[in-house]
Amino acid sequence: MLAVMKTIDSPLRDSTRIDRSLPANLTADDAVLFEDQFTYSTYDSYLKCIGKAKVSAESVVYKNYAPVVESLYRAESVAYYRFRYLAKKVLTSRKVQLEANKAFLLATDQDSSGHFHWFTEVLPRLWLVKGRTSEFDLMLPDTPYMRAVGVASLEQVDLRFAGIYWMKPDEFYSVPNLYHVSKVSRTGQMHDGIMKELNQALIGKRPTGNRRFYISRERADFRKVLNEPELTERLAKYDFEVLYHEDLSLADQIEAFSQCGTLIGIHGAGLTNSLFMPPGGKVVELRKREPNYGYWHLAGSVGHKYYYYHGVPDSDLSLIGRGCNLTIPIDDFEEKILKAI
């Protein structure tokens, strides 16, 4: 048995068809990696009333102990959440009863503490209730990312909720009055209208920047450019500055990238900063030759040209997630990308 939410009124934002501009340097051989994403439709997004429900710290919702599929990051995992996950929460978690005189809002899921997922999936949903935020206490997973970046992003776009309720990993919540904002689009796809609104809310109307940034993952444990010193030496000849995403507060990121006109980085959270660039920029994703479209859609949604370059992987693992590393053939990259942008 699965639980169903009650839809409130009309959609917060109607579904729309997106016709995505092709990558600026798309070749015939690589078209297969993008072709199923040239056109797609977003979802009708609703504010839904669940009422009395159980909620885990990972934002999984249960109604009468049946999982609410819309709260799951991957609907195909529903069998796990119906039995094993629920049993673990019931048997091992501290039970917490929330106040009956408050309305609680949920828009997160199991992956929401990732930079890309927060800015492309959660913040767009919360943006749609911007006229009603004072009615709700927002439920958020109690993670360092949420406390440092999630809250700061809400302040940046003036989303001021009645309060924030921090969900602890070892707790399981009984919520008398729960509301949920449904997804705007599939993961990795964007609603261009909403993303443009967020871009303007974050940086205002600015001309296209003239600074050029390369986002380094030198300090990361995975998904690195193995010959980064050689790459950054060549990038310096084209006036690229090297930034370390982890050194910057959200306010610093927004300020820096609001001056950026060209961004290069390996597939990863740093490319999310294209959201903070004025429209008309250029975004270059270093990637493996495999299906991968999230940063292409993000760049296109706010009016940037997207370029890609396939590096040489060091394993058969996907680059996505905790995957492989890349080596970038420097002369070839200069000829195909640096001289073109």
Domain identity same for 166 and 236: no
Is the model's pTM score more than 0.75? yes
Indicate the pairing of strand 137-141 with strand 104-106.
Answer: parallel
pLDDT at 216: 96
The torsion of the CA quartet 279, 280, 282, 283, rounded to 10 degrees, works out to 30
Residue 112 near residue 121 (C-beta atoms within 8 A): yes
Are residues 54 and 186 located together in one domain of the fold?
yes
Assess contact for 98 and 176: CB atoms under 8 A. yes
Mean pLDDT of the region 15-40: 97
Question: Which residues contact residue 74 at a Cβ distance below 8 angstroms, ignoring those fewer than 6 apart?
Answer: none
Same domain, 188 and 254: no
One-letter amino acid for residue 247 of the chain? D
The answer to whether residue 38 sits within a structural domain is no
| Residue 150 within any structural domain of the chain | yes
* Residues 120-172 pLDDT 10s: 999 999 999 999 999 999 999 999 999 999 999 999 999 999 999 999 999 99
174 shares a domain with 279? no
Contact 266, 295 (CB under 8 A): no
Is residue 194 in some structural domain? yes
pLDDT at 10: 84
| Amino acid (one-letter) located at 166 | W
**Domain-embedded: residue 36:** no
Does 90 reside within a domain? yes
112 and 171 both lie in a single domain: yes
In a shared domain, residues 194 and 230: no
Is 231 part of any domain? yes
Same domain for 160 and 13: yes
- Decide: 290 and 321 in contact? Cβ < 8 Å: no
Q: What is the CATH number of the domain that holds 228?
A: 3.40.50
Lowest average pLDDT, out of 216-220, 312-316, 334-338, goes to: 216-220
Based on the fold, state whether residues 92 and 176 are members of the same structural domain: yes
What is the model's pLDDT at position 251?
96
* H or E segment to which residue 211 belongs: strand 211-216
CA-closest candidate to residue 3, choices 103, 105, 78, 112: 78
Domain shared by 79 and 165, yes or no:
yes
Query: Has residue 257 been placed in a domain?
Result: yes
pLDDT at 235: 98
> 184 and 226: one domain?
no
**What are the phi and psi torsion angles at 141 (to 5°)?**
-60, 135
Tokens representing 250?
Answer: 């959200």
Q: Which domain holds residue 287?
A: 207-338
Quick one: average pLDDT of 171-196? 97
Question: How many domains are there within the chain?
Answer: 2
The last residue of a domain, from among 200, 223, 258: 200
CA dist list (Å): 39 to 16, 178, 213: 11, 34, 30
Q: Which two tokens stand for residue 65?
A: 């102990």
At 268, is the pLDDT very low, low, confident or very high (cuts 50, 70, 90)?
very high
